[in-house]
Amino acid sequence: MSSSGSTYGDIHRYEPARESTAAAIAIVLLTIIEVLFVFLFTYGLVSGWGLTETGNMYLGSVLAVIFIDLAFILAMYRKEFLPDVVIVKKRRRKWEDLYIREDDVDGTPFADGAWDHVKRAIYPYYKR
């Protein structure tokens, strides 16, 4: 996806939002429903509906509907009203994140041979 003439931070693709009227009307209606459910939940909390077993389940269901409605509002807003932008970034290799030089990528050997591995396993401070 990288092109030869692009540098860091360049906009690679920009598609403006559709901004449909039907989506705007749907978002307004979902927002009105959201406000009604929030008032219903608040009224239920103040009235003490949560003190009974069925009232507690009812309040939980209303809270679930509030978050699901909010998810639909945010998804529709993101899809219809935010532009689709792709920005060019450089993908770095993992060893660059650790500030390691290229010749030190493989690291240094832990021990010289198999016998040194055995000695280090028995006595961890061997050759320090």
Q: What is the DSSP letter of 82?
A: S
Confidence of residue 1 (pLDDT cuts 50, 70, 90): very low
- The pTM of the full predicted model, rounded to 2 decimals, is 0.58
Residue 30 tokens, joined: 């979902």
Among 8-12, 56-60, 78-82, the minimum mean pLDDT is found in 8-12
pLDDT at position 103 over 70: no
On average, the pLDDT of the chain sits at: 81
Q: What is the spatial distance between Cα 1 and Cα 92, in angstroms, rounded to a whole number?
A: 15
Q: Are 24 and 77 in contact (CB under 8 A)?
A: no
